[in-house]
Amino acid sequence: MNSHRVETTITEDGSLTLKDIPFHAGDSVEVIILARSAASGSQNGYALRGKPVTYLDPTEPVDDQEWESLR
């Protein structure tokens, strides 16, 4: 089964429009609408997703004592 997730907001007239979905005209699809609670929208299971990554001295050698302590 091929699935596709889209998050959107219902308009004032109660309609919902989906654009650029990865299905073809004539395909049979099933639509399930789930309400998002305010808490679940703000909680991200991956707090660092999308955050910039910075490496401090990425080419510096690791201290042997630190390396052994991680084993």
pLDDT reported for residue 49: 84
The pair phi, psi for residue 58, each rounded to 5°, is -65, -20
Q: Are 33 and 15 in contact (CB under 8 A)?
A: no
Q: Is the per-residue pLDDT at 45 higher than 80? A: no
pLDDT reported for residue 44: 62
Of 29, 34, 36, 27, the closest CA to residue 3 belongs to 29
User: What does pTM read for this prediction?
Assistant: 0.43
